[in-house]
Amino acid sequence: MPHFERLYNFACWLTHDRQEAEDLVQETYAKALKGFSSFQLGTNFRAWIYKILRNTFLTSRTGLKATAPVPLDLEGEEEALPAVKETPESILLRRSDDQLVRQALEQLPVAYREILLLCEVEEMSYQEISATLAIPMGTVMSRLSRARKALRGGLQEQFAKG
């Protein structure tokens, strides 16, 4: 299944729940298979499948069944073996920074969170993001700028608390 791991990661960020993300990706592939005749050969498949995932996610949030976000936990990750270059202090600092970024990202509105994830994590081009979100390229650039500014503000606020 093309792009499975990346779709799953994106779904985890959107839903904040691993089981819901699995269901979302499964439903995305089911819809993609069912509607594959609507895919135009020669166009960007990745943008097409991400658009299906995003629309499925947004549709799931319009009903009464919307659930409160659950933060992604760090449990289940393998412990890093001690390395010569890393100290326990440097590992702690890196993990706390990662956690702060995750928390700040989770506080952003979905529109900002998804555009940051598509650009920075999925490394999509502005054109691919434009096709995925069905918005003009100028909107991609301005929304990305606002999302980065909001993330920066959220991080500054968290650093001020800590």
Spatial contact of 119 and 89, defined as CB atoms under 8 Å apart: no
Q: Where are the domains of the chain?
A: 1-64, 88-162
Q: Return the CATH number of 88-162, one of 3.40.50.1220, 1.10.10.10, 3.40.50.300, 1.10.357.10.
A: 1.10.10.10
Spatial contact of 2 and 49, defined as CB atoms under 8 Å apart: yes
Average pLDDT, the chain: 79
- pLDDT, tens digit (0-9, with 9 covering 90-100), for 28-44: 999 988 888 787 787 88
Which pLDDT score, from 0 to 100, does residue 26 have?
Answer: 92
The yes-or-no verdict on residue 67 having pLDDT over 50 is: no
Residue 63: which pLDDT band, with cuts at 50, 70 and 90?
Answer: low
Q: pTM of the predicted model, to two decimals?
A: 0.55
The residue assigned the tokens 């968290």 is 158
How far apart are alpha carbons 57 and 9 in whole angstroms?
13
Q: Which residue has the higher pLDDT, 56 or 83?
A: 56
Which pLDDT score, from 0 to 100, does residue 72 have?
Answer: 44
How far apart are alpha carbons 99 and 137 in whole angstroms?
31
Rounded mean pLDDT, 135-141: 93
Rounded mean pLDDT, 46-68: 75
- pLDDT, tens digit (0-9, with 9 covering 90-100), for 92-114: 556 666 777 788 888 899 899 99
* 64-86 as b/e: b if 16+ CB within 10 A: eeeeeeeebeeeeeeeeeeeeee
The sign of the torsion formed by the CA atoms of 42, 38, 130, 5 equals negative
Spatial contact of 14 and 114, defined as CB atoms under 8 Å apart: yes
Of the candidates 123, 153, 152, 118, the one whose C-alpha atom is nearest the C-alpha of residue 135 is 118
Q: Which residue has the higher pLDDT, 82 or 9?
A: 9
- Was domain 1-64 assigned CATH 1.10.10.10? no
